[in-house]
A and B are shown apart, each in its own frame.
Chain A
Amino acid sequence: MTDSHLTRRTLLRYGAYGAGAAALAGTAASWDRLTGADIPGRDDGSLVVATLGPAYGPEAIRTLTEGFKKVHPDIKLRINAVQATDWSDFFAKILTQIAAGTAPDLVYVATEGVQLFAQRLGVALDAWVKRDAAELREYFADVHPSLVESMMYEGSLYQLPVEFNAADMYLNSQVLKRAGAGFPAADWTRDDFTELLRDMKKSSGSQFTPYFWTNRLWGGVVPWLFANGTNLLTESKAPGGAWLWDGFYPSAARQGRGGGFRWTTPQATDARVEESYDYLASLIQEGLCTRPEGGNGQNLIGVFSTGRVGVTPAGGFWAGGLHLAGMEPGSFDVQYFPRWRTQRMQYGAAGYSLLRTSKKQDEAWEFIKFAARRDTLMRLFETNQTTPARRSMLTADRYRESGPRHWQVFYDTLDKFPDTGPIPAPPQVAEVEQVLLKHTGTALSSRRSVGPALRRMQSDLEKAMERDV
């Protein structure tokens, strides 16, 4: 090799290169980690609120920013509407922002992420709630305690719920009429439900499936588990929370409340869980029900509004959705989820979570209060795209144009069935949901598959729950 003889000049040159690289590395190492916030112009001192994009269009953003400016002209607000297909996708994008060093101050978080955010990222609101108790008394009087409890974690409150959606049953009136069936009673049973599906099937063509459902944590198998008096994970209540219940709720509403839900031991092999899956498998086998399809039910509005589906579980959000799809108020209606062993129903709620990394926590608290005000929610939820957490907002006037006729069902799901509770969403929710969806798909391929698939689900859930988030 000719290069084995290094010249003095070459040696000096390489030495200079090495020294330069070392100096550069040293300088870089001595600096604080650069983040997205260091990009000039990125951090303009605004209070940043991340919301789920599809649910917050330009009109909603304007409502929030202009309304907040009137109340707090000194606080600059920026709404960051993150486009995502579902809550899981939304949380993934928020976490990416946190990793990039551009964490928002507040994040709109649904039940799916309440405990994850509370455990790892959020700030408890207890001190502010106690401080502004007089101001908040009207809010708590208007919001069902179960919704508030679903936003608590280990005795502390992390969010003020502004909306929720329980899985009630939507029925297509045209299909009911075709089947010669009446609107079901409020206390209808699982057997009544099955008979109704059979009647619908008999009176319709081959391109019709009576019951449609989406394979997901909210509104999939879980409502059936609740109706059958069981759950995917054992459910209990954390101690604590008396500071809130005693301060804001009358003794009747305080009954049985604690410091938030705890979902711990997987129980996929529980006899009632197996029974619930077996029931759904039998519906599929009989052609009364669609096979579990993943996703967010995007294609459902089309098939329901055209009478190719008769019944489906959905929340108050669907009143607005069906209205937008052109359905007349009388062409669909809603009833409670049918009774099995119980008539306990499931819901998901959402509110703003304050992040620990926020340097504007007092300003953020002002926004949380503003977002939970009645006038704000009235302007925000004009199109019935969800069920407001405030009971007083659910009026005949609100549903006159969109329907459904039995709109009271939405809030009565909480008021008349006080054991109605949130979907099981421990901090490990992402993995729990993935395991649920995966094994539900295989469990319902045939009735024989139920047992083996649930055993695999149990094993995977145990692994998921053992993991630290």
Chain B
Amino acid sequence: MTNTQMPAVRPSRPATTPATGAAQPSARDRGTRLLATLFLAPTIVGIVVFTVVPIVGSVVLSLFHWNVIDSPRWAGAANYREVFTDSTVLVSFRNTLVFMVLAVALQLLIALVLALAVNGRMPMWLRSVFRSAFFFPLVLSAASISVVMKYLFNQDFGVVNWVLGQVGIAPVPWLTSEHSAMAAVILVYVWQQFGFSFLLFVGGLNNIPKEIHEAASLDGATGLRKHLHVTLPLLSPTLLVATVVGVINALQVFEQPYVLTDGGPGDSTRTVVMVIYESAFEQLRFGEASAVGVLLFVLIMAVTALQFRLSRRFVHYQ
């Protein structure tokens, strides 16, 4: 886009121009500005109504005690104090962070390896089959997938343990042991989610000019070395996007642990969003639930900001 189009949205006014009317926009500019506003209005209204208002509402609600039935009562910081002393909430934050680190790392690794493999030499039709197959779980409902997976991972009657049993491995209490439940939840989550990162990586790999790879090959780079020193740096902007989106999604994980383990055994797979749901809709503590929501929002913002800050060092734009 050229600079000549910019005034249509925001007419520039030279810093030295006196404010008294010399830079008044023309009738045409005003018309264009109105048109732009009209085009943007649905999106702006949507964002305001469905994002900004709920966020502000949550912040306000976090300062009140509210159980839906009675009128809200002023609580000040009491909900936040309660949150910081509630062991279930603290454990849920720890679980969510552990989940985020492991799930995102695994998701990116699998997606990257498969993207590199699919991007290699293979017939076009087979490439299309793989792309569709890897992306397909993403379009399914997480709750439906989790219901099916709950059957598969059942310790006594599940197919997974039956298969393991065929090769002499004892039944694993996938969903009923504190040690394996989180692993099962992560596996199910990653299986569904990696398709998004996979598609991003396939797109990113296609955007890397072939000449660079050819030049690297001429210089003697091969295999893993070429990927580490050529592909990965050139893919780093895509990797940043995939990581940021992956982290934000992982910090809000709900369906998989809710359906698979209901947060158990104990609190071992209870996540922050589960605590928000339980506090609000099961225990009618909407103020406390909002306080947890506000803290999660702050956490997501902080982690995202940190990622962008770190990206200055690790991300290379061509």
Contact = CB atoms under 8 A, between A and B. Distances in A.
Chains A and B form a bound pair: yes
A441 B264 contact: yes
A469 B262 contact: no
A25 interface: no
A110 interface: no
B13 interface: yes
Contacts of B265: 292, 441-442, 445
Interface stretch (A2-10, A130-138, A160-168, A172-180): A2-10
A3 B262 contact: no
B52 to A, nearest CB: 16
Interface in A255-295: 290-295
Contacts of A212: 156
B5 interface: no
B57 interface: no
A110 B151 CA distance: 28
A78 interface: no
Contacts of A92: 281-282
A302 B17 CA distance: 80
Interface in A68-99: 88, 92, 95-96, 98-99
A409 B282 CA distance: 34
Nearest to B65: A468
Interface string A427-456: 000110010011101100100000001000
Contacts of B281: 92, 95-96
B214 interface: no
B292 to A, nearest CB: 15
Interface string A99-113: 100000000000000
B169 interface: no
B284 A469 contact: yes
Interface in B117-160: 147, 150-151, 154-157
Given A95-B284, A437-B264, A469 B177 contact: no
B178 A445 contact: yes
Contact of B155 (A215, A290, A438): A290
Nearest to B70: A120
A98 B68 contact: yes
A209 B156 contact: yes
B124 to A, nearest CB: 42
Contacts of A442: 178, 264-266
A251 interface: no
B176 interface: yes
A295 B150 contact: yes
B267 A431 contact: no
Nearest to B262: A294
Contacts of A209: 156-157
Contacts of B43: none
Contacts of B207: none
Interface centre among A98, A290, A292, A441 (most CB of B within 10 A): A441
Contact of B266 (A2, A3, A441, A469): A441
Contacts of A390: none
B115 interface: no
A121 B67 CA distance: 12
Nearest to A433: B282
B11 interface: no
B266 A438 contact: yes
B223 interface: no
Contacts of A3: 19
A121 B162 contact: no
Given A291-B155, A439-B266, A95 B176 contact: no
Contacts of A2: 13, 15, 17, 19
Nearest to B181: A441
Contact of A294 (B19, B162, B264): B264
Interface in B232-258: none
A438 B267 contact: yes
Contact of B262 (A6, A437, A467): A437
A96 B284 CA distance: 10
A187 B162 CA distance: 37
Contacts of A292: 176, 265
Nearest to B23: A2
A295 B15 CA distance: 66
Nearest to A293: B176
Interface string A142-172: 0000000000000000000000000000000
Nearest to B15: A2
Contact of A438 (B156, B173, B263): B263
A431 B283 contact: yes
A7 B266 contact: no
B19 A98 contact: no
Contact of B156 (A99, A290, A294): A290
Nearest to B261: A294
B154 A293 contact: yes
A201 interface: no
A7 B19 contact: yes
Interface in B174-219: 175-178
Contacts of A441: 176, 264-266
Contacts of B284: 95, 430, 469
A445 B261 contact: no
A27 interface: no
A442 B21 CA distance: 74
Contacts of A206: 165
Interface in A201-215: 206-207, 209, 212, 215
A299 interface: yes
Contact of B264 (A96, A438, A469): A438
A308 interface: yes
A303 interface: yes
B6 interface: no
Contacts of B154: 293, 299
Given A294-B261, A299-B157, A453-B266, 7 more contacts: A6-B19, A291-B173, A298-B147, A438-B263, A442-B178, A442-B266, A469-B284
Interface of B: 13, 15, 17-21, 67-69, 147, 150-151, 154-157, 162, 165, 173, 175-178, 261-267, 278, 281-284
28 contacts: A2-B15, A2-B19, A3-B19, A6-B19, A7-B21, A88-B282, A92-B282, A95-B281, A96-B281, A99-B68, A207-B157, A209-B157, A212-B156, A291-B177, A292-B265, A293-B175, A294-B261, A294-B262, A295-B262, A299-B151, A299-B157, A308-B156, A430-B284, A437-B262, A437-B264, A438-B264, A441-B264, A445-B177
